[in-house]
Amino acid sequence: MPARIIAFALGTAVGGAIVGASVAWEKDSSSSSVSKRTALVISPTATAVVDPNEILKYGTPLISADIGNRKAFISLYDRRMRNPAWVAEVLTAKSLERKNGDRKNSEFYEDAEIPLKFRTKLSDYSRSGYDRGHQAPAADAKISQEAMNETFILSNICPQTPQLNHWAHFEDFCRRLTAQYQTVRIITGPLYLPKQDQDGKWRVSYEVIGTPPNVAVPTHFYKIIVADNGETEQVAVAAFVMPNSTVSIPDSTPLTDFQMPLEAIERAAGLEFLNKLPVSKRKDLCKETSCTVLVRQFANSNRGIKQLPGPKL
């Protein structure tokens, strides 16, 4: 999909409204995951015909957010799509120079902290034709074997086409930024964007895999990069979107062809990013450094990776 079409599709996507509610956080001390449960506190008004608490007598439909706090990344799992909504990580030259993890010793495994009915299963990818695409790359988590192992949890994985080789070059670009910047923060996640049909109307369409088919196949992936050196008030920021297409992206395609306004990604994802970083303190990363990838031949790094058996039902 050409960049201009991606941009238009992003412009047409609308994020959901947030309803006022009280929020309670729960954390199991023995768990690396935080469950965020939103409770609606409703007070009847003098003009109410029916007590709203009577309407919700047997429970309020809630959206629970499964936040995974791992050694090398933090993630938010989307129970509806069975994919992470976002995965955040921080890279430094020091963290990347450590070689204490080897992906040959890692195995894909299910996230047992997510309720079974909402969980992505190992069997969902069987004969699907899609790779298990890391959102936080294993190569970013070599600080320890445990940290690398955690990148293979399915709540850090999305269905990704084998043709998306440019994504691996992109991840390498992010790591190389640590040679120029003291700290590189990255947020990665899937998008489900509309495309224009022959009748001129825009529709959202995506494949669903698994048995039963529950795991959504993203149409695109986004990556937001925030790089800083600590001694300046301004921070270098850039946001990118790449199609999860069966058509390979030519190696010669400039990375800037995929650069998009951050606000457009926010509208499409229904998420607000960098809310603690004022726009006035942001500068364009691709005007501060060369946003180019080094084309390297990456073998399918997931080939030969074992997988732990799923939990017994």
The binding site consists of 165
Q: Give CA separation, 84 vs 27, 250, 256, 305, in Å.
A: 19, 27, 25, 21
Q: Are the C-beta atoms of residues 71 and 141 closer than 8 Å to each other?
A: yes
SS3 breakdown of the chain: % helix, strand, coil, rounded to 5?
25, 30, 50
At 27, list the tokens. 């954390």
Taking the C-alpha atoms of residue 119 and residue 165, their distance in angstroms, rounded to an integer, is 27
Which residues fall within 8 angstroms of residue 284, CB to CB, at 6 or more apart?
236, 237, 238
186-219 in b/e burial notation, b at 16+ Cβ within 10 A? bbbbbbbbbeeeeeeeeeeebeebbeeebbbbbb
Q: Which residues are catalytic?
A: 134
Annotated binding site for Mg(2+): 165
